[in-house]
């Protein structure tokens, strides 16, 4: 069997390249062999959080895998036939549920199948989008590109125990192109959830962030909720959406500094989509039927990695151009109908 070899040390050299590669392997029905996994990290090889996404996708795609174990620096993934499925999964740690969903949603939806998944783990953890970002920002962007899912948050899960839980439903899609252009709205929504922390302290921090946004001429709609979780923690999302722009930024509450690790300036200066969202949209853009332009303030390692993987597996073409506001990432999709 011929395998498409992927260098796992390329770009950011972490879990992103694994998630993108196995997702596209299923969609294009191409067996892949990922090598040099996390070779530049202090602890190289696959970690538990990577195994979760691979093993769940293996079930959904009836895939054959070899070398998938903790510490492995290479593995092979041979996709099979995707089927409609109803699953219950438990990560058993605070491993990120949103990162697992980034793998499952595109595969199931783009291959025109259905999935009902009840999964336990971390909903709001470091180095991952929060579940609110997934629900309010990624869901909106995916919908505009034809990918539809619904998500119900049952319980929050913070580090170290996790124990969060969500119910996911993914629906068949037809990938399409969309346009992202300059943000025109000055309305923003702020959602904050906290557990086992001082209500007064959280409200004061949210008020500080709200005043900063109002100082930038934003009208802010604020929602603060106390939602019980196994561990103490707090999560915050700011987002704005209009007909041609989707911009969000999220953060967890740092209990050592007593601050939300939030970059309000990046939210304010984002042009049409935020940089993290651009990274997530590369994959469906590579399969769309027209050229898509993603305008970003910087080219992150994650974005560069996704461009590398998608072009290698799908054959899409892309280019990057400097603009007054940052960069234009131009992706010429292959039209998924051509590989069905």
pLDDT in tens, 304-329: 989 999 999 999 999 999 998 889 99
- What distance in Å separates the CA atoms of residue 336 and residue 134, rounded to the nearest whole number? 24
The answer to whether residues 247 and 278 belong to one domain is no
The answer to whether residues 6 and 67 belong to one domain is yes
Residue 336 is predicted with a pLDDT of 56
Question: Kind and range of the H or E element at 171?
Answer: strand 164-171
The answer to whether residues 243 and 276 belong to one domain is no
The answer to whether residues 5 and 50 belong to one domain is yes
Burial of 69 (0-12, 13-18, 19+ CB in 10 A): exposed
CB 27 within 8 A of CB 106: yes
- 319 inside domain: yes
- 159 inside domain: no
The answer to whether residues 261 and 302 belong to one domain is no
CATH of the domain at 212: 3.30.360.20
The answer to whether residues 298 and 250 belong to one domain is no
Answer yes or no: 136 catalytic.
Answer: no
Domain boundary (54, 82, 110) is at 82
The answer to whether residues 278 and 222 belong to one domain is no
Question: 77's torsion region: left (phi>0), alpha (psi -120 to 50) or beta?
Answer: beta
Domain count, the chain: 3
pLDDT tens per residue, range 28-37: 999 999 999 9
- 208 inside domain: yes
Domain boundary (82, 114, 136) is at 82
pLDDT tens per residue, range 54-75: 999 999 999 999 999 999 999 9
Give, in order, the Cα–Cα distances in Å from 74 to each of 15, 66, 166, 287. 13, 9, 31, 27
Q: What is the Cα Rg of the chain in Å?
A: 19
- 141 inside domain: no
- What distance in Å separates the CA atoms of residue 138 and residue 282, rounded to the nearest whole number? 12
The average confidence (pLDDT) of the chain is 94
Residue carrying the six token digits 């993914």: 170
Residue 340 is predicted with a pLDDT of 45
Write down the catalytic residue from 33, 50, 136, 302. Answer: 302
What is the domain extent for residue 213?
187-267
CB 105 within 8 A of CB 149: yes
- 111 inside domain: no
The answer to whether residues 253 and 290 belong to one domain is no
CATH of the domain at 53: 3.30.110
Per-residue pLDDT of the chain (340 residues; tens, 9 = 90+): 899 999 998 877 778 899 999 999 999 999 999 999 988 888 888 988 789 999 999 999 999 999 999 999 999 999 999 999 999 999 999 999 999 999 999 999 999 999 999 999 999 999 999 999 999 999 999 999 999 999 999 999 999 999 999 999 999 998 988 989 899 999 999 999 999 999 999 999 999 999 999 999 999 999 999 999 999 999 999 999 999 999 999 999 999 999 999 999 999 999 999 999 999 999 999 999 888 999 998 898 889 989 999 999 999 999 999 998 889 999 999 875 444 4
Separation of CA 50 from chain center: 14
Burial of 246 (0-12, 13-18, 19+ CB in 10 A): buried
The answer to whether residues 262 and 281 belong to one domain is no
- 126 inside domain: no
pLDDT tens per residue, range 175-186: 988 989 899 999
Question: Kind and range of the H or E element at 36?
Answer: none
The answer to whether residues 339 and 314 belong to one domain is yes
Residue 339 is predicted with a pLDDT of 42
- 21 inside domain: yes
- 175 inside domain: no
The answer to whether residues 236 and 283 belong to one domain is no
The answer to whether residues 254 and 277 belong to one domain is no
Domain boundary (267, 286, 321) is at 267
Q: Tell me the whole-structure pTM to 2 decimals.
A: 0.95
């Amino acid at each position: 069997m011929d395998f498409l070899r992927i260098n796992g040390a390329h770009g950011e050299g972490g879990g992103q390249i694994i998630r993108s590669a196995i997702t596209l392997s299923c969609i294009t029905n191409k067996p892949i062999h990922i090598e040099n996994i996390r070779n530049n990290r202090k602890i190289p090889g696959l970690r538990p959080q990577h195994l979760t996404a691979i093993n769940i996708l293996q079930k959904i795609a009836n895939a054959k895998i070899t070398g998938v174990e903790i510490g492995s620096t290479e593995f092979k993934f041979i996709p099979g036939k995707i089927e409609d499925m109803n699953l219950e999964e438990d990560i058993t740690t605070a491993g990120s549920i949103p990162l697992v969903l980034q793998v499952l949603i595109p595969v199931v939806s783009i291959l025109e199948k259905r999935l009902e998944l009840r999964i336990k783990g971390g909903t709001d953890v470091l180095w991952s989008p929060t579940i609110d970002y997934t629900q309010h920002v990624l869901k909106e962007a995916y919908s505009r590109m034809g990918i539809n899912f619904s998500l119900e948050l049952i319980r929050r899960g913070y580090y170290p125990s996790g124990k969060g839980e969500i119910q996911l439903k993914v629906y068949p899609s037809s990938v399409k192109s969309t346009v992202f252009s300059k943000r025109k709205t000055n309305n923003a929504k702020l959602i904050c959830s906290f557990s086992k922390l001082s209500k007064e302290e959280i409200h004061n921090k949210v008020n500080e962030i709200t005043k900063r946004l109002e100082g930038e001429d934003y009208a802010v709609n604020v929602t603060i909720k106390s939602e019980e979780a196994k561990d103490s923690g707090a999560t915050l999302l700011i987002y704005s959406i209009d007909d041609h722009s989707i911009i969000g930024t999220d953060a967890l509450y740092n209990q050592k500094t007593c601050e939300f690790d939030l970059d309000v300036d990046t939210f304010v200066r984002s042009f049409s989509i935020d940089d993290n969202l651009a990274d997530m949209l590369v994959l469906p853009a590579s399969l769309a039927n027209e050229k898509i332009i993603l305008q970003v303030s910087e080219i992150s390692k994650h974005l560069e990695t996704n461009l590398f993987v998608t072009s290698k597996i799908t054959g899409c073409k892309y280019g990057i151009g400097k603009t007054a506001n940052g960069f234009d990432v131009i992706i010429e999709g292959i039209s998924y109908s051509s590989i069905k």
